[in-house]
Amino acid sequence: FVEDDHPAYYPLDAPEVLLTPEDTVHYQVSSPEADGEWAALFPPGGGFMRLGPEGRPFVLTLYHQLHCLDRIRQAIGEKHTTQHVHHCFNYLRQLVLCEADSTLERPLHWQAADSESAYPSGERMCTDWEHVYEIAAANHEATAGRFR
């Protein structure tokens, strides 16, 4: 692939999975386990893939999004520069707008005080991110050491 001569999307054919958003003790901002838990979200190669006969590098948007969330998490603990965090906030803002999710949710402040759900919209259908992880990991393994 040269310049803009490349596909816009990687053909995943990933199945959908059900996600019920919920609070978790994992993926905290600064727990002793946080860095390792966040790092485990990324496949070998960090979500970068080599495509085409010349092995042109691309990153799957999923992993750019996760990278930005992780940088913001680290910035809360002052581990990264303001410029990088600004990029990540702006990038995630644009992606939220791009998705324009029209799921109806009740605002948290309208819920009963004893409500067990902090995620009033309930279950969501999502692309199977584990399938995407496997594809990115397989690409990294197949191209590791072949390109600079």
pLDDT in tens, 41-98: 999 999 999 988 888 889 998 899 999 899 888 888 766 667 887 788 778 888 776 7
Euclidean distance between CA atoms 118 and 102, whole angstroms: 18
Average pLDDT (1-30) is 82
CA proximity to 14, closest of 143, 122, 136: 136
Q: Predicted confidence band at 139 (pLDDT cuts at 50, 70, 90)?
A: very high
CA 10 from chain centre, in angstroms, equals 15
Q: Are 60 and 136 in contact (CB under 8 A)?
A: yes
Q: What is the mean pLDDT of the chain?
A: 81
pLDDT number for residue 114 = 53
Q: What is the DSSP letter of 49?
A: E
Report which secondary-structure segment, H or E, holds 127: strand 124-127
Q: Are 24 and 119 in contact (CB under 8 A)?
A: no
pLDDT number for residue 92 = 83
pLDDT number for residue 132 = 93
Euclidean distance between CA atoms 60 and 32, whole angstroms: 28
pTM of the model: 0.74
CA 130 from chain centre, in angstroms, equals 11
